[in-house]
A and B are shown apart, each in its own frame.
Chain A
Amino acid sequence: MWSNLPLFPAGASSMAGHVDALYFALVAITAFFTILISVLILFFAVRYRRKRNPTATQVPASTTLELLWTGIPLGIVLIIFVWSSVIFFIQTRPPKGAMEIYAVAKQWMWKFEHPEGQREINQLHVPVGRDIRMVMTSQDVIHDFYVPAFRIKADVLPGRYTSTWFRATVPGRYHLFCAEYCGTQHSGMVGEVIVMEQADYERWAASGVEGSLASSGEKSFQQYGCSMCHRSDAAGRGPNLVGAFGRPVLLDDGRTVTADESYIRESILNPGAKISSGFKNIMPTFQGQLSEEEVIGLVAYIKALGSGSANPPLPVSEPNSGAYPVAPKTEGSAAQSDTAVTPPEKANPAKSAPKQ
């Protein structure tokens, strides 16, 4: 064990350099002040020891000095604050066009789903040099996605999506830790991130895949009857979802929200929470009927409807098809029927993908 004493972590993402630079600046500040105070204390303790200095000399208070040692630290921390905020903005704003990988955490494993349809457990294969945004949720308690070599960490919460992003810079294998205490096997909830060359990754991603994540979402969209109301024309009882992703949605209480992953997830599991303006609160909840993986598939599908890239929308006129024309909202379109739609009771046990 003695041959192996690392003192500094490998840096393998575009963030590492930013974080390490500020870290070293703070180490320097810490060292400077700790040494300054320690040296002063030791110097005074020796220079003014009683044997040498039997009588203390009282020193009058000095407002100048007090203001000086209030002001200088204040200046230093303000500079650090601005510096660290700049890093934080980079960390919280994933670049446009980042590849999205979904993660579902549960006691005590990590499940990942790639857009191409690859699924893996406790291993995360990613291409080098590509922006990757993690969209994560938990099935049970709070977990935390932590890759020290990337200098990123984000809690993974039940009931919502959280996200983080990274761009790996050096191929290799890196620790993946759960960093939020989650119960018995917390320290066993570890895995590795495998950073591959782009070509290797593409080969890996294409091997043995049944279909893309969006296409499995499309199957769920049909299977659970979503397509009956969320039609691709203006006649559906629910909002048309084509092109909806990422757009602002006017709610019936006048607020506006962005149709991001969390909004879609909430609208599936708790549809009454934020009703799109002009529609009725008639959609039943799918809480407890869909696994987190199925919800992720649906989110990926609806996203694909928006961008039109991964999966082209299905034809317009089929009432049971899953897709809709682009008109975002039509007043009155929801008023055609008051009948609530009951989702099929898990009619088709054959999931679009094997449960993991």
Chain B
Amino acid sequence: METATAPVEPKTNYLNADYGIKSWLLTTDHKRIALLYLISITVFFFVGGFFAMLIRLELLTPAGDLVLADTYNKLFTMHGIVMIFLFLIPSVPAVLGNFLVPMMVGAKDLAFPKLNLASWYIFITGASLIFYAILTGGVDTGWTFYTPFATTFSNTNVVTAAIGVFIVGFSSIFTGLNIIVTVHRMRAPGMTWRRLPLFIWSNYAASVIMVLGTPVLAITLVLVALERLFHLGIFDARLGGDPLLFQHLFWFYSHPAVYIMILPGMGVVSEVIPCFSRKRIFGYNFVAISSIAIAVLGFLVWAHHMFVAGISTYAALIFSILSFFVAIPSAVKVFNWTATLYKGSITLETPMLYAFAFIGLFTMGGLTGLFLASVGIDLHVTDTYFIVAHFHYIMVGGMTTAYLGGLHFWWPKITGKMYPESFSKLSAVLVFVGFNLTFFPQFLLGYLGMPRRYHAYPPEFQVLNVLSTAGASILAVGFLMPMIYFAWSLQYGKDAGPNPFRAAGLEWMTSSPPPTFNFDETPVVTWEAYNYDQIDAPNEGVKVAG
């Protein structure tokens, strides 16, 4: 331990332990690497958001009059690639997970610190390649790279972008591997599996998907690149290949990837709800097991993306019923979160507002998934704005909201500073209102029949598109505000102290910001997770730092 227990400031912590660019770029401290990821994905988020704003502006009018058709196609492709591979997938696991997993299990660092640093460099290498592809002309295949369009017909930078995504995939494998091994091998004495915070359970489940699923995506993208370069005839019917084979391989990863994105967000919500209602989480076992159930079932539903693609009737029915089954563990989580509030002592700090927004929006996103699992309706609404609305409810309404909630919740721990409460509440409300205004009209557009990825559209769809664009501008303000006040808080924020929310969990039992090796002494765990009754009872139970 480099720091003796010295409660008086200035205490040595991971931020001031060392200075200079080298101390950051060569760090193996999981907390510093988490910040490297935080800065990178924040940049990527706003780049992806910029593409989204251009898309929404183009769709303000029915005619394709703002950008050229090819430009529009590149915009939604790059919006998808950047947001999914460079923001959503790394968001909670590589930023909050990286920062919190070792602290929550009571470890000094992740199991493989150098691998962790390598994962960030690989991420940046892949991202650079993707941006090189964007800057030298872009890609127009959609983030789904469907063949034979991507292998034979597109004349944009498909290979460069695919290799970029391929490389980024390794960073996510490394992060997943690190989290899995850390959870298995590095838990503090007394931290049994059933005492683990649910954030750990859900990140563990997501990591399993990352490790098992990402290689399939990598293989698929290599095949696309090889077919494009050497005309191998794997996916192109004219060369004897099968275009549906690509879709099977692609969705085998890319559907579970949705759970890579949403599971860690569920973990955030499972931490926030108990804290601000001072309750043990209701049904810990069921919430924990449901994460694993989602990860397992998530691998068995990929072909529900292909109901109209020409798969057999019975294959469609099997994938339909399995997709319905995934809804069950998600519903179990929602009911347990809600039940946790019952007889709580509730305050509405910003993280709690985001958690409420998450539950509402995720519930809508999940339930609209039932429409798509129903083959009979899917045939009408797939490939329309209905599906665009559905997955944005999950990925933005769900995951991004959870990510922001988590960022607010642990910001005092990460930086030692408080964010301004009123501005942050306003931003949470703006995100919720702006989000609904942006994406709810898209459900209506989808059932009306407006296809997705349309540069120009029939005039009767205009009013709903105008509403959506108006909502997007509110949403943009909601997303920009935290950027500004988080930066402001670094300098001017109140000192947070070790545990401003009187939260349970090992990460709150050390100083903020934490010392380089997280704990001055290795903690010994003698209590269950979410022991808010013990924390709030003044004279008994566990000591809480602060």
CB contacts under 8 Å to B, within A1-45, are 1-2, 4-9, 18-19, 22-23, 26, 29-30, 33-34, 37-38, 40-41, 44-45
Given known contacts A5-B464, A48-B342, A53-B344, is B317 in contact with A183 (CB within 8 Å)? no
Across the two chains, which residue of chain A brings its CB closest to B150? A141
The reply to whether A146 and B449 form a contact with Cβ atoms under 8 Å apart is: yes
Shortest Cβ distance from B392 into chain A, in angstroms?
16
A155 within 8 A of B: yes
Across the two chains, which residue of chain A brings its CB closest to B466? A1
The reply to whether A157 and B69 form a contact with Cβ atoms under 8 Å apart is: no
Using Cβ atoms and an 8 Å threshold, which residues of chain B touch A58? 279-280, 343, 532-533
The reply to whether B371 and A183 form a contact with Cβ atoms under 8 Å apart is: no
The reply to whether B370 and A187 form a contact with Cβ atoms under 8 Å apart is: no
User: B379 is contacted by which of A34, A151, A157 (Cβ under 8 Å)?
Assistant: A151
User: B360 is contacted by which of A38, A53, A61, A158 (Cβ under 8 Å)?
Assistant: A38
A309 within 8 A of B: no
Interface size on B, residues (CB 8 A): 94
Q: A-facing mask of B379-390, CB < 8 A → 1, else 0?
A: 110111000000
Using Cβ atoms and an 8 Å threshold, which residues of chain B touch A57? 343
Stretch from B1-9, B183-191, B319-327 forming part of the interface with A: B319-327
CB contacts under 8 Å to B, within A188-203, are 188, 190
The reply to whether B449 and A84 form a contact with Cβ atoms under 8 Å apart is: no
Shortest Cβ distance from B470 into chain A, in angstroms?
14
The reply to whether A87 and B376 form a contact with Cβ atoms under 8 Å apart is: yes
Given known contacts A77-B324, A142-B146, is B69 in contact with A187 (CB within 8 Å)? yes
A85 within 8 A of B: yes
Using Cβ atoms and an 8 Å threshold, which residues of chain A touch B70? 184
B368 within 8 A of A: yes
Using Cβ atoms and an 8 Å threshold, which residues of chain B touch A159? 237-238, 243
The reply to whether A184 and B324 form a contact with Cβ atoms under 8 Å apart is: no
The reply to whether B364 and A30 form a contact with Cβ atoms under 8 Å apart is: yes
The reply to whether A181 and B339 form a contact with Cβ atoms under 8 Å apart is: no
A281 within 8 A of B: no
B420 within 8 A of A: no
Using Cβ atoms and an 8 Å threshold, which residues of chain B touch A7? 444, 448
Shortest Cβ distance from B158 into chain A, in angstroms?
12
The reply to whether A44 and B459 form a contact with Cβ atoms under 8 Å apart is: no
Determine the interface band of chain A, counting residues with CB < 8 A from chain B: 35 or more
User: A48 is contacted by which of B313, B343, B459 (Cβ under 8 Å)?
Assistant: B343
The reply to whether B451 and A22 form a contact with Cβ atoms under 8 Å apart is: no
- Please list the residues of chain B having a beta carbon within 8 angstroms of any beta carbon in chain A: 64, 69-70, 73, 140, 142, 146, 148-149, 152-154, 236-238, 240, 243-244, 277-280, 282-286, 308-310, 313, 316-317, 320-321, 324-325, 327-328, 331-332, 334-336, 338-339, 341-348, 356, 359-360, 363-364, 367-368, 370-371, 373-377, 379-380, 382-384, 444, 447-449, 451-460, 462-464, 466, 532-533, 536
Apart from A141-B146, A181-B452, 16 more pairs, CB < 8 Å: A7-B448, A19-B380, A26-B377, A37-B359, A44-B344, A50-B346, A53-B345, A55-B536, A61-B283, A81-B374, A87-B376, A155-B310, A159-B238, A177-B454, A181-B73, A187-B64
- Please list the residues of chain A having a beta carbon within 8 angstroms of any beta carbon in chain B: 1-2, 4-9, 18-19, 22-23, 26, 29-30, 33-34, 37-38, 40-41, 44-45, 48-50, 53-59, 61-62, 65-66, 69-70, 73-74, 77-78, 80-81, 83-89, 91-92, 107, 140-142, 144, 146, 148-149, 151-155, 157-160, 162, 175, 177-188, 190, 270
